[in-house]
Amino acid sequence: MNMVNRFTAKYSAVIRMTWIQALEYKANSLVGTFAIISGVFIEYLLWKRIFLTRGVSVINGFTFGDLMVYIFLSLVVGQLKSSWITSLEMITAIREGELNKYLIRPISFFTYHFMLFIGYNSLFYLVYFFMIAGMIIFFPGWAFPSLLNIAGFLGTLIISVYLSYSVYFVMVCFAFWFGEVRALIIAYNLANMVLSGQMVPLRFFPDSVLKILRFTPLPYLVDLPVSIATGNLPVERWWTESLHSLFWSVAMTFIGLVVYREGIQRYEGFGG
């Protein structure tokens, strides 16, 4: 078996395990899948009130309908890319010595948990695929003006999922030094929800904030794929923006591996 086949077999088996586990807890998986609906509903009520109170039909270039489509897609992307629960599990593994079971086997802690995250999210991928497909078929004018937007959305979504995981991984590795870093993950998660465009489009922010955000990976996590999906980003800017997100993915992976390599030397493998 060559290296690529072995890698694929090894990590696809991890994804398979997550599916088996999810099937053990059918109700929990289904409830989790439809949790996004409550988020859309709350934002619907909130923005309906804002539009009515201000008596306007457009805010920052968004009609109420545009905004609802943006919010729906941003919640989808936000959920698909958010690996914060996996991150908390990884921190516990480092803190309590559970990391031992990964270190004694020929597997990578980084890749193994990335596959766990992808596996646990698989049901979301499936459900959201059908939701978005339904939106494209039944409400053709709402988003995805062309096939190119679908391709651009998928490409940047994949980068976003990976980039998000690699940012979390860097923070997880701080557990080797500080033991408990869950507060950092939670704080980042809250900031990320607002500053990546998951709650409101980034163009609602002042220019000064946007200028700072451009030097962080945050705009590439949610706002980029959703702006491509809704046609809000001109096609000529797709490549530069995608290259920026790729740069951040490579940079965060590199930083993560360096921090992990340093951190693992301090690992104390508590317990047992």
Site membership for other proteins, residue 107 (CB under 8 A): yes
Instruction: Give the amino acid at 131.
Output: M
Site membership for other proteins, residue 55 (CB under 8 A): no
Interaction mask 128-167, other proteins, x per CB under 8 A: ----------------------------------------
Site membership for other proteins, residue 31 (CB under 8 A): no
Candidates 40-48, 98-106, 139-147, 212-220 — which segment interacts with other proteins by CB under 8 A?
A: 98-106
CB 256 to other proteins: min, Å:
17
Q: Which of 97, 92, 89 is nearest to 272 (CA)?
A: 97
Site membership for other proteins, residue 32 (CB under 8 A): no
Query: What distance in Å separates the CA atoms of residue 79 and residue 168, rounded to the nearest whole number?
Result: 14
CB 249 within 8 A of CB 257: no
- Number of residues this chain uses to bind other proteins (CB under 8 A): 29
- Options 24, 54, 55, 138; binder of other proteins; rule CB under 8 A: 24
Residue 41 CB burial class (10 angstroms; 0-12, 13-18, ≥19): exposed
CB 106 to other proteins: min, Å:
4
CB 44 to other proteins: min, Å:
36
CB 198 within 8 A of CB 192: yes
CB 97 to other proteins: min, Å:
7
How many CA atoms, within 13 angstroms, populate the side-chain half-sphere of residue 259?
20
Query: What distance in Å separates the CA atoms of residue 89 and residue 267, rounded to the nearest whole number?
Result: 16
Alpha helices in the chain, H assignment, sequence order: 3-24, 26-33, 35-54, 64-81, 84-96, 100-103, 109-138, 147-173, 175-178, 182-195, 207-213, 223-230, 238-264
- Options 101, 211, 214, 237; binder of other proteins; rule CB under 8 A: 101
131's CB contacts (< 8 A; 6+ apart) are 76
Site membership for other proteins, residue 261 (CB under 8 A): no
CB 267 to other proteins: min, Å:
7
Candidates 71-79, 103-111, 167-175, 216-224 — which segment interacts with other proteins by CB under 8 A?
A: 103-111
192 CB neighbour count, 10 Å cutoff: 23
Site membership for other proteins, residue 88 (CB under 8 A): no
Task: Please provide residue 142's backbone torsions phi and psi, each rounded to the nearest 5 degrees.
Answer: -70, -40
Residues near other proteins, by CB under 8 A: 1, 6, 9-10, 12-14, 16-17, 20-21, 24-25, 97-98, 100-101, 103-107, 264-265, 267-269, 271-272
